[in-house]
A and B are shown apart, each in its own frame.
Chain A
């Protein structure tokens, strides 16, 4: 017997539609099994909430518009402990407001998905324009030592696929996963081909057997839900494997926080996803992600057609940082060009893994890079010596 969700979504099976990145991400959530969404309107993410509010009741899920983004992530976390697969979506200003509760979700090991459709900041910035300025905020926005998972889609199709992946990683590692979209990808329309509902891999929540503790014992412990008579205690305070608070024992805190970090660090290779396209004799490599990877890829192909060997590396996983792939690229080329819609946030991270020059090709102001701009930078630096770009402010 088909579930209500299955029968609603299988109507999209194998169909090709012309959708916004935001809309595709919302459908990805529905395919992944999301049955709770709490959010607050904000450009350029509101279309995600609009699709969720329309579709969730049709798949027996629940949508609630909260009074702000802090409340939105709060409600999401509450819903997860009551058994939901839950998500919220926002942009920079709302993402800033969510930071404290992101830390709470990390500390309590609450699987959930937060979509940040990045827009031009700081502050209100250019509210309707795209940017990639929240990349380091996604990594370090909340206080205290922690690890996080963040993915960046480069197409409308990937908005769908990586939202599904975000839910799966959240469940697998019991961690909030951030889908770092950007206003460019969120607000452009492209064709997307839906998979068959049955063909979508869904990571189901691992629930604890009776007497098994939910906050320790293994790197990713199984969860418990409310209402099952287990009297679970969920707290953002430092806690023991039982979940009970202990904020005075040094070893308890050290064990907890190192485990929360270790479960991601040790799985970095498994989590990391990149698109590598290397060619013989390349002296220069282009490393990009999100919307910027589109013109970057176009520029690389054009440079090759003109006889210039260029390597291309696209980060799909942003955090944990795919350092092995970056090292592979760094070992091959003399120069790494990093176009980003910020002032060099990932370029700075790349520098940690190579002695070779890392040249940021920053562009801010709400206008994406063109193929020509990146091509010019490749041409100017393709010989591997000297540089005409890369002046960091």
Chain B
């Protein structure tokens, strides 16, 4: 590992962070806005990779277009396929079929995964292909300046819902669970340690694994709802979160506006690429 990270900025020498080895240090610092939750997700993900002792050479990151797609691409030092908006899961399907030995990870936003790419999400979960998807949900299209997304809460103003959002948000984790994924959870950037553990689980489990990560966007989203500091979001996540097992005992009214966090699904349905490759064995000679 390179002990001298090239980080422009303060003159005093920085002690290299132990997880910096996972990053393309020559392109740091990141382009994330001050207070953005993407750094927390990146940190949690790198920690999970470290804990599992996965060699980054065995990982392929596939991303779309949007702020959170930058978490692995280009920052994470692995093979990175930075695709068209909404399509990373479909690109990842081709990668995984050809190279099932590689860990294929998609990190992208709510607009990418649940909006323009929503159909790919549903069908990848249905196939139960062995891909890990981290959907970083910041409740808006942040990169383009704060437009309403399919995950924006009801009644909230955005740059394209100036009279408040008349639509209801998609509960992406519940959708993916219903579609057939082997592992589904939801956490927030407040829940750093359970999130890290969940990412480890998602990387380990065979089949489609999906984590919806609520992640603050104080700049594009926060400006419109007067939550301009990262801590405003973290406090909100802390106060509004309900664990899955508790949520089961609550009424729909009680759950209104709450964030259900925890593991939604863990199961062992057969995995797509394994089944696909088994067909070929029928024709193998000898």
Q: Which residues of B contact A101 (CB under 8 A)?
A: 84, 87
Instruction: Type the 1/0 row for B70-84, where 1 means its CB is closer than 8 Å to any CB of A.
Output: 000110011111111
Q: Evaluate contact between B90 and A227: CB separation under 8 angstroms.
A: no
A-B contacts, 5 listed (Cβ < 8 Å):
A74-B94, A78-B98, A104-B83, A104-B84, A226-B95
* Complex CA–CA separation, A70 to B86 (angstroms): 10
Q: Evaluate contact between A237 and B120: CB separation under 8 angstroms.
A: no
Known: A67-B119, A78-B81, A230-B79. A62 touches B98 (CB 8 A): yes
A122 proximal to B (CB < 8 A)? no
B31: shortest Cβ distance to chain A, in Å?
Answer: 10
Q: Evaluate contact between B120 and A227: CB separation under 8 angstroms.
A: no
Q: Which residues of A contact B90 (CB under 8 A)?
A: 66-67, 70-72, 74-75, 78
Q: Evaluate contact between B119 and A68: CB separation under 8 angstroms.
A: yes
Q: Would you list which residues of chain B between 1 and 24 have a CB under 8 Å from chain A?
A: 24
Q: Would you list which residues of chain A between 222 and 273 have a CB under 8 Å from chain B?
A: 226-237, 244-245
Chain A residue nearest to B80 (CB atoms) is A233
A86 proximal to B (CB < 8 A)? yes
Binding site for A on B (CB under 8 A): 24, 27, 56-58, 60, 62, 73-74, 77-84, 87, 90-99, 101-102, 119-120, 122-123, 276-277, 279-280, 282-285
Considering the complex of A and B, which 10 residue pairs feature the smallest CB-CB distances, nearest first? A78-B94, A79-B94, A74-B90, A75-B94, A82-B98, A71-B90, A78-B91, A235-B82, A229-B57, A67-B123
Tell which of A58, A70, A72, A79 touches B98, judged by Cβ atoms closer than 8 Å.
Answer: A79
Tell which of B74, B77, B91, B93 touches A64, judged by Cβ atoms closer than 8 Å.
Answer: B93
Known: A60-B280, A86-B94. A74 touches B99 (CB 8 A): no
Q: Evaluate contact between B79 and A231: CB separation under 8 angstroms.
A: yes
Chain A residue nearest to B126 (CB atoms) is A67
Q: Evaluate contact between A75 and B93: CB separation under 8 angstroms.
A: yes
Q: Which residues of B contact A229 (CB under 8 A)?
A: 57
Q: Evaluate contact between A226 and B99: CB separation under 8 angstroms.
A: yes
Q: Evaluate contact between A67 and B285: CB separation under 8 angstroms.
A: no
A378 proximal to B (CB < 8 A)? no
* Complex CA–CA separation, A291 to B33 (angstroms): 56
Interface SS of A by simple majority:
mixed
Tell which of A58, A67, A245 touches B283, judged by Cβ atoms closer than 8 Å.
Answer: A58
Q: Which residues of A contact B120 (CB under 8 A)?
A: 67, 71, 74
Q: Tell me which of A36, A78, A228, A232 has the highest count of chain B C-beta atoms within 10 A of its own C-beta.
A: A78
Q: Evaluate contact between A227 and B93: CB separation under 8 angstroms.
A: no
Q: Which residues of B contact A93 (CB under 8 A)?
A: none
Given contacts A226-B60, A226-B99, A231-B77, 4 further A-B contacts (CB under 8 A): A8-B283, A83-B99, A231-B80, A244-B74
Q: Evaluate contact between B84 and A4: CB separation under 8 angstroms.
A: no
Instruction: Type the 1/0 row for A66-105, where 1 means its CB is closer than 8 Å to any CB of B.
Output: 1110111011111111111010000000000000110010
B81: shortest Cβ distance to chain A, in Å?
Answer: 5
Q: Evaluate contact between B82 and A236: CB separation under 8 angstroms.
A: yes
B40: shortest Cβ distance to chain A, in Å?
Answer: 23
Q: Evaluate contact between B82 and A79: CB separation under 8 angstroms.
A: no
Q: Evaluate contact between A227 and B94: CB separation under 8 angstroms.
A: no
A7 proximal to B (CB < 8 A)? yes
Q: Evaluate contact between B82 and A233: CB separation under 8 angstroms.
A: yes
Q: Which residues of B contact A79 (CB under 8 A)?
A: 94-95, 97-98
Tell which of B57, B80, B93 touches A66, judged by Cβ atoms closer than 8 Å.
Answer: B93
Q: Which residues of A contact B102 (CB under 8 A)?
A: 82, 226-227
* Complex CA–CA separation, A68 to B80 (angstroms): 24
